Amino acid sequence: MDAMSHDKQAYFGSLYGSNDDPYGVRARWYEQRKRALLMAALPAPRYARAYEPGCGVAELTVGLAGRCDAVLAADFSPDAVRIARDRTAGLGNVVVEQHRLPDHWPREACAFDLIVLSEVLYFVAPAAMPALLQACRASLRPGGTVVACDWKPDFDERAQSTADVHAALDSLGLARIATHDEADFSLKVWCDDSRSVAEREGIR
């Protein structure tokens, strides 16, 4: 049984059923700034193939589409998937699917050189994390990057804390190359290539 099906259906249904932007990601400066920080934290200027589960209304997806040859975006909520497909309809390099983690992780798809886990893993039950982490690591190309960006304050629908999620991602065996922490959210970047951006460009 997947970890994001029964107890979250009502929650996400109530969010997206009556509002096409329930978190205000299009209008709020907080959300715009957070996306900009995430995009700036990516260590490479361009990626071949990205996976973004928990894409929501696809504002971050649009940004990723400008930096990636192909983006597979996904969400648990059918309403979010509908909204995301409308938002990205003009982007030929974006595909949006309905996925429930970890069961629907695209193991059969081509490997990804960028996996973006933004505001999604704290909904996954702790018991399901080993399977999710295994799928994430197995689908990451050599030299690939994993990014996590998560809200820090507690809320009722959480299955686990942001600190616990990021500690689990630390166990992937990747080098953590960037960390940005604020009172509201934590942003971390892991990579199979431990070199800094300056080292990659031969600056040092």
Alpha helices in 95-161 (DSSP H): 129-138
Structure tokens at 161: 């804390």
User: Is 88 inside any structural domain?
Assistant: yes
**Does 160 have pLDDT greater than 90?**
yes
pLDDT band at 202, cuts 50/70/90?
A: very high
Q: Is residue 96 part of a domain?
A: yes
Structure tokens at 178: 């960037």
Distance CA 36, CA 110 (A): 27
Q: What is the pLDDT of residues 97-145, one digit of tens each?
A: 999 999 999 987 679 999 999 999 999 999 999 999 999 999 999 999 9
Would strands 47-53 and 112-118 be described as parallel, antiparallel, or unpaired? parallel
15 within some domain: yes
Give pTM, 2 decimals. Answer: 0.92
Q: Alpha-carbon distance 104 to 23, whole Å?
A: 24
**Alpha-carbon span 90 to 84, nearest angstrom:** 11
132: domain CATH number? 3.40.50.150
**Are 59 and 87 contacting, i.e. CB atoms less than 8 angstroms apart?**
yes
Q: Provide the residue range defining the domain that includes 155.
A: 6-200
Q: Would you say residue 1 lies in a domain?
A: no
Identify the CA nearest to 163 among candidates 171, 152, 173, 172: 152
